[in-house]
Amino acid sequence: MSTSDDLSVLFRAERAARPPSSAAQHGWTRLAADLAANVAPLPVAVGPLKLGLWLVPKWILAGFALGLVGGGAALPLLAPRAVLGRASRVEVHVAAANSVALAPTPTDASEHEPAPPALAEEQRVAPELTRVAPPASALSSATFDAELKLISFAKADLDAHRPTHALAWLAEHAARFPNGVFVTERDALNVLALCEQGPPDEALAQRFAVQHPSSPLVARLTKACRAATPHVGAPIPSAHASFETLPNGSGALGEPTNEPSGGEQK
């Protein structure tokens, strides 16, 4: 028998597979109960699948989606608005050097000491005094996607004025990708989320500035944290305006903008 025939046999066998007769009814009973209880679904996108994109275009797209690449000259300044009650303040960890892939600064490593992180031990991210470009093999598409999703989720929650959720995404990113390619973006979003969560603390932005002196985000973060308490009569700048979302209103690469664990729904 030829390979082609073998494949045909396999395809035929798989096409004939049917669910057990009781599975549908059992599943519906469970689904109906969850629908009645208003159980939150998994935060996944529902648009067309984007598979097999090239890595480089992804980088570019990610940069534009996050509004954090290439100096961000078109981005207006962030300013946190409502002070939402501080559930859990996560101290900002700032890496010593910028992410090589996004903003290579060869002199950073020797010029700046990392600030001592004030996190609990399990949350602490080891400071990196010398960051070298990871090998190309390490930048796998899957890892990149996973990182980008977490950062995108955080950004989306921040845009939706859910700083606590944004911090949760950022903490997960820090745990899974302590040396990821979006470390600088993570640190910047952390500052913004904390300032939005309140009370605003300009020291957070200053610490970021110490660690990322060449980052184009320094001025924005400083102003965002400082401007958190608006002057009487002055308009409050929109936090949403600082990070551009994609035209379809979703996060980067058409990914969802949902909560980490079934929390508040939009």
Partner 1 sequence: MPLPGLRKSLNESPEPVKQKGVPAAERVAPARGPAELLYREHFAFVWRNARRLGCTDDWLDDAVHEVFLVATRRLGEFEGRSGMRTWLFAITFRVVGRMQRDRARQRRQTNRYVTEQPELVSDAARETEAAEYLRQLLLKLSEPQRVVLILAELEGFTSVEIAETLAVPAGTVDSRLRAARIQLARTLERDRARDERWTR
Which residues would be at the binding site for partner 1 (CB under 8 A)?
A: 3-4, 6-7, 9-11, 13-20, 23-24, 26-28, 30-32, 34-35, 39, 41-42, 44-52, 146
The least CB distance from residue 19 to partner 1, in Å, is 4
CB of 50 to partner 1, least distance (A): 7
Residue 31 DSSP label? H
Integer-rounded Cα Rg, in Å, for the chain is: 22
CB nearer to partner 1: pick between 3 and 130: 3
What's the CA gap between 12 and 77, in Å, rounded?
59
Give the number of other Cβ atoms within 10 Å of residue 194's Cβ: 25
Are the C-beta atoms of residues 98 and 105 closer than 8 Å to each other? yes
CB of 209 to partner 1, least distance (A): 34
Please name which of 72, 44, 68, 235 lies closest in space to residue 149, comparing C-alpha atoms: 44
Query: What whole-number distance in Å separates Cα of residue 185 and Cα of residue 66?
Result: 8
Residue type, 80: P
Of 2 and 130, nearer to partner 1 (C-beta) is 2
CB closer to partner 1, 30 vs 86:
30
- The vertex-72 CA angle with 68 and 78, nearest 5°, equals 80
Q: 42 or 234, CB closer to partner 1?
A: 42
In the bound complex, what is the minimum distance in angstroms from residue 174's beta carbon to partner 1? 15
| Residue 237, phi then psi, degrees to nearest 5 | -65, 150
Between 39 and 118, name the residue whose CB sits nearer to partner 1. 39
What's the min distance (Å) between Cβ of 96 and partner 1? 28
The owner of tokens 């000491």 is 113
CB of 7 to partner 1, least distance (A): 6
Between 7 and 219, name the residue whose CB sits nearer to partner 1.
Answer: 7
